Amino acid sequence: MGLTFNIKAICTLSGALKLAEITLAFICIALLRQYDLHFGAESWHNGQSLVDRKLVGVIAIGSSILISLPLLIAYVFFAHSSNLLEVLYCFTACVMNVAGGAMAIENYQGQGDSETVKAGMAMGSLMIINALAYLIDAGTGTIANRNA
CATH number at residue 132: 1.20.120
Q: Is residue 2 part of a domain?
A: no
Instruction: Decide if 97 is inside a domain.
Output: yes
Give the pLDDT confidence score for residue 144 in this predicted structure. 56
pLDDT at site 9 = 80
Higher pLDDT, 124 or 73: 124
Residue 18 is predicted with a pLDDT of 94
DSSP 48: B
- What mean pLDDT do residues 112-116 have? 95
Q: Please give the single-letter amino acid code of residue 135.
A: L
Cβ contact 58:32 at 8 Å: yes
Q: Residue 52's pLDDT is what?
A: 82
pTM of the predicted structure, to 2 decimals: 0.87
What's the pLDDT tens digit per position in 48-75? 567 788 889 999 999 999 999 998 888 8
Q: Looking at the domain assignment, is residue 35 inside a domain?
A: yes
Residue 139 domain-assigned (yes or no): yes
For residues 121 and 39, is the Cβ–Cβ distance under 8 A?
A: no
Instruction: Name the pLDDT band for 145 (thresholds 50, 70, 90).
Output: low
Q: Which of 97-101, 107-111, 125-129 has the lowest mean pLDDT?
A: 107-111
Residue 28 lies in a domain: yes
Task: Collect all residues with Cβ–Cβ distance below 8 Å to 42 and sequence separation of at least 6.
Answer: 50
Average pLDDT, the chain: 87
Within-domain flag for 1: no
Which structural domain, as residue segments, surrounds residue 24? 9-147
Per-residue model confidence (pLDDT) at position 115: 97
Query: What are the CA-CA distances from residue 59 to residues 55, 73, 76, 96, 148 (Å)?
Result: 6, 21, 26, 8, 33
Give the chain's domain count: 1
Q: Is residue 4 part of a domain?
A: no
What would the mean pLDDT of 14-34 be, rounded to a whole number?
96
